[in-house]
Amino acid sequence: MPLVKFTNENKEIEVPAGAWLREEAVRAGINLNCGVNGYGADVNKYVNCMGKGMCGTCRVRITSGIENTNSLTKREWLRFKTPGLPPDPIPCLAYVGNEETMRLACMTQINGDIEVESGPEVNLFGDNFFS
């Protein structure tokens, strides 16, 4: 069974192969619907699209084992590459500089061991965005 390590929460869980990351996190009591740079997690925990890949609040970075997940889905591609897509543009900003590791937890299928960083920082004013 694949092992998922949540680095910020310092928690590890075993999941069945093919499980969905957000579902397994919820089952383990981990909120992956975080806010922006530490703000809004309490709201996003309840105000989100409930795993439909539409809101973008379940952004995570797969810091290890990205090859053990499914490919980027069309919904993730839309969320990350369409700045004007409602409800907010933050997923696009978060994606810049993290193209190889950023995923939506609800669209990420686990096929092997991975490490997950919840609520990755959004670099609103950094070099990556303006380069």
Q: Which of 94, 106, 114, 116 binds ligand FES (CB under 6 A)?
A: 106
Does position 102 bind ligand FES by CB under 6 A? no
| Total site size for ligand FES, rule CB under 6 A | 14
Q: Which stretch binds ligand FES (CB under 6 A): 6-14, 48-56, 81-89, 111-119?
A: 48-56
SS3 65: coil
| Strand bridging mode 59-64 / 109-110 | unpaired
Residues 6+ apart with CB under 8 A from 3: 12, 13, 14, 15, 113, 114
Location of structure tokens 């889905």: 73
Q: How many CB atoms sit inside 10 A of residue 14's CB?
A: 11
92 touching ligand FES, by CB under 6 A = no
- Residue closer to ligand FES, measured from CB, 15 or 32: 32
Residue list 53-82, contact with ligand FES (CB under 6 A): 53-58
Q: Does 49 engage in binding with ligand FES (CB under 6 A)?
A: yes
**3-state class (DSSP) for residue 22:** helix
Ramachandran sector of residue 120 (left: φ over 0; alpha: ψ -120 to 50; beta: rest): beta
Task: Pick the binder of ligand FES from 51, 65, 119, 120 (CB under 6 A).
Answer: 51
Contacting ligand FES within 17-36 (CB under 6 A): 22, 33
> Which residues of this chain interact with ligand FES, rule CB under 6 A?
22, 33, 48-49, 51-58, 104, 106
